[in-house]
Each structure stands twice: as structure tokens, then as C-alpha cells.
Structure 1
């Protein structure tokens, strides 16, 4: 007759069964409950992915527009061939730069650290559409024809000679069709020789150039400084908008910058209030100005935040609905010993899968919309690696945050009360 097992042996056996049950729940070979929840109802999952994908696409578009604000803010600076830019203390942005004393370039030319000083006039004027005679705001840049401020292949000696007569201008071929190109689409050779009204004076198109426009102005003109004075409302006298300085030693910009600042302080008066900055510093400041101190930058920035909020709400609704439909199954798992930690991991895994599955089609659609928007609006919108990783991170964050909120109902529920 075999001996009866002691109560201690029975307790050990029960513990072994419990450990086996829980270890099965932790086994890496188990079927993924999160994945089964998604594949169990393919139609509902597809609808859920569509909603989350829409939120991801919205983030891509808002970030794309925000990026275009920064890109177009520096499109003119990218064409400047200089090391240091001197601007007024009242400078607001590129098309509202205020002005500096007109004799200031001569004072800077005498510095041994300086190789070349180039004045630049820039502002906004009124262009009359030659087709419908309506007026549009257009950017106007006045350059010294002997020492052009921009590195443009179109500014050949022959072209600069054509710009010497007062009223002669070049027009950016990126200017929108609101300005009246002859073919109704884009300015080109057919527009050369056309004359129109600009701020009450006559301007004649002598050719086109390629620089790119921005959100502050949908079109741009290039002229001599004398023509700039003629085509700009009001008279400024002996003033200049910006001063572009090229240093003798471009590798040691800091030394040249300090010399320029010292000269400005020594001059006293309005000149001492001018700000000298490296070209990179100016471009960075211009981007920040447009991002945080203009309505359009703030709108797109807020749009990104709202896209994350909308995506979080959609994700919460998706996960909460799925949790409610499987609440009895989750309760059964809790009743047989699965921990809250396991259920948390399951739901967060499911939310992560939703974000990962919704991301690729949203990225592809964003590429298509970026291309169409750039083509028809003439505003450059480009996809960057930064945008891709940022949106992916935000997608994972909003889905997992929604998962955490959806878990509260499950963690507070008692299994016995659900049957």
C-alpha cells in the first residue's frame, strides 16, 4: 500500500501547476494575443488603421507646411555670397528689414579683415497684372550691378547691362500665375519686353531668374538700386536695407565679425545700433522669426499639436472599443491568474502594432500630397528623415498614451462582476 501524500506535497504540487500555468502565459512561443485581437476582426481593424493613419497623415502635412515656412524664409539668403550680414536694429524679417545709413558700406570697406562690401535693397511693392490689371504685392530686390549681391547664373554681364536703364527688371520664374504670365502658367521668354505698372511707375521685364519665392511674397523682381528707388513707394534717400560683407579670411569668420562690430560701435549714432551677424546666424534667426513670431508659423505649429491630440482621441476610441468587446476574455485571463502587467503589455503591444501598421501607407500618401502641393502652390514642401522619425515617434506616443487611458477600465474591473 503506497503512502498517502502529505499536505505539504499537495501544496508543492499546486504551486508547480500554478507556476506552469503562469510560465505558459510568459512563454515566448505563445500566440500573440495582441496580434490575434487585430486579425480577429479585419474590417474593424481596417477602419481603425484608417482613422489612425489619417491622424498620422495630418501630422505629416502640418510638419511639411511648417518646414516650408523655414525653407522659404531662407531661400534668398541661400543665394547670398557673403560671410557677414549687417542689418538694422529695427529689422523684422527679410521683406521688412528697415534701413541703414547709405554711407555705412564705405566705413566698413576700410577694415583690413574685409574684402568686399555689397549693399542690398529689399522690400515689397505693388505689381499690376498685365492681363486683368489687378494689383499684387511682389518682392523687389535692388542690387549693385557692378557687385551683385546674389550668386545667380542669370546675372551675366549682358543681363546686368540690360538692367541699367531705370525701370528694367528681372522676374522670378517661380512667381505665381496671379502676376499675369503671358501663357497663364509661368513667366518665360514670351514675357520679355512686356511693360506694366509697378507702384505708379513703368517697369519692363528684361528676363527671368530662378531663386524661388516665399510665404511672405508669391513673386519677386530683381533690379538695379536706382530702379528699386523708382519702383518703391515713398523715397528713402541715402539708405540701404542690408549690407553683405565678404571677409579676407572666410575660415576665421569670428575675427572678422568682431572687427565689424567694433567698427560699428566706434562710429556712434545710428550706425552703432546696427547688428552684424554671420550668414548662418541670420538664417537661423530668420527661421525662428517665422516659426514663433508670425501667425503662419504659429498656425502650423499648433496644427502639429492638434494632429497629435486628434490621433490620440482616435486611438483611444479604437482601443476602448476593442477592450469593451473583449472585456470578458480579459476578465477570464485575470481570473485564471494572469497578472495586470501581462494585460498591460498586451494592450500596449496592440496599440504599438496599430501605429506601426498605419505608418507606411500614411507616409506614402504624404509623399504624394507633398508633390501635388509643391507643384500647384509653388511652395517647396519636402520630406526629410527628421520628419519621418518625428512622426513615427509621435505616432507611437499617441497610440500608447491612448492605450494607457483605455486600460483604466480593465484594471479597475473585478472578474467576478463581469459574468
Structure 2
């Protein structure tokens, strides 16, 4: 390693030699940086799962514009919207088609007594173009009364049930006094709001939720005519529809707003964001403590260099070298342990916690920056020190 660092820096790797001179302290420092990396990775992983599960329902839909109740914060909450707005929207230039979307939470109990909650979507199966291609192909099968497509990633659902459905079988269960039969699957995944998702016809939805009416869907999905900008149609809809408790957004804009709300308004997003900050702070404190102790231990050597004419950039170079070594050696175990914990979280919770390259790169360069900042702070004592005072 010394020879490699000599080639990298073009000089004797003083920082590396100082760190590894005391093996116990070096291992403890690397473990501290790895722990800080682990904290950040876990918080970012759960935040990523929160974001993925928030926008996952949008992947089931194929629309350009969505009309929602103004009191709704995300796709899956908020009030209802009058269905008459759909007919009014169809008269606006640039609108090609529209359909209502019904959403509700459907709980039921498995044979072993455990409870599962399904985020349920009711759609007009006569308009399959509003569903994603993978779902649209099976949507016509849902014209049968009380049938549905079940999410393959439903948390808590026995693997034998999913295997049976993918092989063309059926799975019936009781919910709200009604027997619902899953006749196929879709791949969406569980999240923070429910264990999984299920899609059915609007008529089946209204039978399962007797308090709901066809005249008050949760959203209205709109497809624009070919070649017409959704943003332009949004502006026309805002001008044409009655003012009031209605929000008109493009699908992309709605998804972005959902993410912003979950990250900045919901307690879960705020807590995990604060956890990332705490992980960074822990890393800063650990590295600063290690580097400042190292500077104090070698103060006489630094004084000798200073008396020989070496300036502050030389000392910064040594400490930055130490910071880089700690960042690299702490990142490697941090990322591998995080990947193991990610896999454990996925198997236990079913949340979409994955290690992507972008996150790993972000954390690595963040670790380098944090270690460098700690190093810069640790060398402040040398900046204005008089060599004669250091002996």
C-alpha cells in the first residue's frame, strides 16, 4: 500500500504511515467511518424505499393529466372529486379521453390469522388504455364479478398463493362480507401505506366499498390528443373547469409533488432525512477526533517541518491524505454491510430497499468531503503556530 500511495502522491505517504503506525487506533477509526457510512446508507435506503413506494402506483396508470381533490396530498389520500368534472373536461380542446379512478384500503385476514392490507384501485375495465401495458392486457378479465389482479409483492402473502396465481390458478378470500377472487397478478410491490396493491373493475370496487358512489371518484385520469402538450391542456382545464376544490396536474407533476410532500411534510420523511444528517455528523466528529489526535501526537514533527520552511499546504496535504485513506477504507466495509442489511430488510419487510450505483457514489464522495472538512478543521492549530512554541 505504501508503494501504491507513493506513486499516487509522488512522495512518501506520510499520512498513511502515521495512521497505520498505531494499528489499533487505525482499525477503530476505520470502524467509526464505516459505522457512519452504514447509518447514512440505511437512512437513504429507507428513504429511497419510501419514495419508490410513493410513486409505485403511478407505474400502474397510463395517463397524461390527473384531476384530484385539492385537499389531497398524495395519490392515495385526500377527498373525492365530482364525476361531472370528467364530462366537463371531455369538452376541453386537446382532451382525447378520460376515466374515473377509485382508491381505497382493503383489509383482510389470511388463513393463519395474520392481517394484510391492500391498496385497492377501481378502474373502468372498458378503458384498458388507462392502465400500464402489463396490466391492460389482463384488465378485460376483470369484467367478471368480484375479480381482481393481486400484487405479486404483497407483504405477508404466502409464496404458494402467488405461485398458484402465476400458474393460472385463482385465490379467493373474504373481505367486508364479500368474496373477492384474484385471477391474476401484477408486479408493483408493498410500501409504507399498505402491504400490497390490488386492481379491480370500478363495479367490483363499489360493491366492496358500499359507502362509495360512482359519482365521487378519487381522481379523474385524462389522456391528451396526439401531439398536444399536457401542460397546455392543463392550462385550458384550469381556465374551463369551475374554480373550487380541484387540483389539475400532469401525471409527472403529481408524482413529483407526492415525493416532495413525503420528504418534507410527513414524519417518516423528516425522520429519515434527519437520520442522514446525524450519520454525516457522526462521521465528521469521528474523523475530526482521529485527525486532531494525530496532529497533536505529531506536533513536534510538524514543528520541525515548519521550521525547515514547509508551509500550511504541505500539512494540509498530509492530513487530507489521512482523510482520504479513512474515507476509502471506511466506505468499503460500510457499503458491503449495508448491502447485506438491505437484503435482510427486503426479505423481512418487502420494502423496495436496493443499493443503486448513484447512492453508493453519492455516499462515497460525501464521505470524502466530510473527511476532508474534518481534516481542514484539525489542522487549524498549525496554521498560526510558532515552531519555537511547539517544542
For the aligned pair, the TM-score class normalised by the smaller chain equals 0.7 to 0.9
What residue in structure 2 maps to residue 230 of structure 1?
A: 207
1:19-58 Cα offsets, whole Å, 9 max, x none, are xxxxxxxxx8642322321343344323322221221232
What residue in structure 1 maps to residue 62 of structure 2?
A: 81
CA distance in 1, matches of 2:11, 2:191: 56
8 Å contact from structure 1 (residues 173, 186) kept in 2: no
What residue in structure 2 maps to residue 108 of structure 1?
A: 89
1:347-366 Cα offsets, whole Å, 9 max, x none, are 23322332133334433443
Select between 311-320 and 239-248 the one with higher mean Cα deviation: 311-320
8 Å contact from structure 1 (residues 56, 395) kept in 2: yes
8 Å contact from structure 1 (residues 182, 191) kept in 2: no
Shift of 1:123: 2.0
8 Å contact from structure 1 (residues 359, 392) kept in 2: yes
What residue in structure 2 maps to residue 215 of structure 1?
A: 192
What residue in structure 2 maps to residue 353 of structure 1?
A: 325
Within the alignment, does 1:403 sit opposite 2:372 as a pair? no
Change (3 A) 1:235 1:216: same
Within the alignment, does 1:302 sit opposite 2:281 as a pair? no
Which of 44, 49, 60 in structure 2 is aligned with 1:63?
Answer: 44
8 Å contact from structure 1 (residues 53, 358) kept in 2: yes
8 Å contact from structure 2 (residues 284, 371) kept in 1: yes
Gaps of 5+ in 2: 1-8
Shift of 1:307: 0.5
Which protein is bigger by CA-based radius of gyration? Answer: 1
What residue in structure 2 maps to residue 93 of structure 1?
A: 74
Match of 2:211, SS? coil
Match of 1:332, SS? helix
CA distance in 2, matches of 1:186, 1:307: 41
Q: How does 1:229-308 map to 2 (within 5 A)?
A: 229-232=206-209, 234-236=211-213, 238-265=215-242, 272-308=244-280
8 Å contact from structure 2 (residues 142, 201) kept in 1: no
Shift of 1:412: 6.6
CA distance in 1, matches of 2:321, 2:163: 52
Which of 312, 316, 319 in structure 1 is aligned with 2:284?
Answer: 312
Which of 160, 172, 175 in structure 1 is aligned with 2:140?
Answer: 160
Select between 95-104 and 320-329 the one with higher mean Cα deviation: 320-329
CA distance in 1, matches of 2:69, 2:131: 20
Match of 2:249, SS? strand
8 Å contact from structure 1 (residues 174, 186) kept in 2: no
What residue in structure 1 maps to residue 151 of structure 2?
A: 172
Aligned residues: 382
Within the alignment, does 1:130 sit opposite 2:108 as a pair? no
Q: How does 1:8-47 map to 2 (within 5 A)?
A: 30-47=11-28
Change (3 A) 1:184 1:160: closer
Select between 355-364 and 122-131 the one with higher mean Cα deviation: 355-364
What residue in structure 1 maps to residue 3 of structure 2?
A: none
Change (3 A) 1:367 1:250: farther
TM norm structure 1: 0.81
8 Å contact from structure 1 (residues 97, 242) kept in 2: no
8 Å contact from structure 1 (residues 122, 142) kept in 2: yes
8 Å contact from structure 1 (residues 63, 300) kept in 2: yes
Shift of 1:305: 0.3
CA distance in 2, matches of 1:233, 1:298: 36
Match of 2:127, SS? coil
Within the alignment, does 1:324 sit opposite 2:296 as a pair? yes
CA distance in 2, matches of 1:29, 1:129: 66
8 Å contact from structure 1 (residues 172, 212) kept in 2: yes
Select between 365-374 and 97-106 the one with higher mean Cα deviation: 365-374
CA distance in 2, matches of 1:255, 1:97: 26
Match of 1:153, SS? helix
Shift of 1:410: 4.4
Match of 2:241, SS? helix
Match of 1:215, SS? coil
Change (3 A) 1:50 1:321: same
8 Å contact from structure 1 (residues 95, 124) kept in 2: no
CA distance in 1, matches of 2:171, 2:162: 16
Within the alignment, does 1:196 sit opposite 2:211 as a pair? no
Gaps of 5+ in 1: 1-27
TM norm structure 2: 0.87
